[in-house]
Amino acid sequence: MFARRCTVLTSSAVRRVKLRPLAVLSAPNCRELSSSNLTKKQQIEGFTIKDRRPPRPRVAKQKRKQYLAERQAAFEAEQEKATSLGLDWGIRSALILERLPVIVEDYTDWQRDFWDLQTKQAHYGAKFPAEMGFKYDDEKSLSMEQVLEQSPVPLAPRRTPADESNDRTTLDRALDERLVLIVKPRSGDEWRLPESAWEPGETIRQTAERTAQQLLLKTATRKGQRDDVAQLHFVGNCPAGWFWRTANEEQRGQHGEFGDKVFINRVQLICGQPTVVKRQAAEHLWVTKDEIGEYLGESMGVYLKHLI
């Protein structure tokens, strides 16, 4: 529907080619482009056609499949070491406690170009019948920004004071992104996801629920209502993912385990302002998926991007 045909002039001949939708939206008017410019991805009037196009799902799927295969091979190597030492793995359950986006995310460049083009076509394409006796005055037309300025209801800013001060301890930041809770236990200096050891007789989800109950204090969801635990939604009974953590020689001697297998459950915050219990975590942060690698490590950050 959006694809159009335009004449592309080259030094050899005039050919008719079918441009991709995103290329048309970025350059609605046909311009003189050579085939060599398109293949070399050179900048054309401030943008590159292929760079503005989002990655194809097939390419992303292949990269994800390759990443998971390499990750599985790395675990099998660790499993061989554990088998040779005659040690087993400990079982733990971790939480990805996430706050969903509050506002719509910002448009990308090609989305903004699409809406601008669509608005122009709707504005200049519709004509009133002459018999209606109505003539549209272009000089009196108002832009969307002018209409919003005259609105009696002021618009709230998309960026909050927490964004300006880079305060990552509050939920009132990065309103257009998902936020994930990470904690720093009192027994160590490393940041990690909230987690607990699995106990016999429990399912992985029950262990995750116990972790959430021990980690969060009761909080008031709304004024005038009784205090209640922040409402959480567990996304299914099956873990969303897992990772392993090897122990050092001293820890292996104390616990008799080669390391831990940590199963991750996704939990979404529905309402309320959760307060982290101080005796469970010395510090806590709410970070985006792009920031999580700064605290949990690059490899862990890459893996969690596939889950969040």
Question: Can you give the residue ranges of every domain in the chain?
Answer: 8-52, 57-86, 87-103+160-307
Q: What is the pLDDT of residue 206?
A: 94
Average pLDDT, 10 consecutive residues per value, the chain (308 residues): 41 39 39 40 46 71 90 94 92 94 88 86 70 61 73 84 93 93 87 93 93 76 51 90 90 88 93 84 92 92 88
Quick check: 293 and 302 in contact, CB under 8 A? yes
pTM: 0.71
Long-range contacts of 167-170 (CB under 8 A, 24+ apart): 168/285, 168/286, 168/287, 168/291, 169/284, 169/285, 169/286, 170/286
> In angstroms, rounded to a whole number, what is the distance separating the alpha carbons of residues 267 and 170?
18
pLDDT given for residue 278 in this prediction: 83
**pLDDT given for residue 107 in this prediction:** 85
Yes or no: say if 262 and 166 are a contact pair by the CB < 8 Å rule. no
Q: How far apart are CA 294 and CA 86, in angstroms?
A: 35
Best CATH choice for the domain 87-103+160-307 from the list 3.20.20.10, 1.20.1560.10, 3.90.79.10, 3.40.1390.30: 3.90.79.10
Cβ atoms 53, 110 nearer than 8 A = yes
pLDDT of residue 130: 66
- pLDDT value, residue 30: 38
**What is the spatial distance between Cα 244 and Cα 89, in angstroms, rounded to a whole number?**
9
Q: What confidence score (pLDDT) does residue 77 get?
A: 94
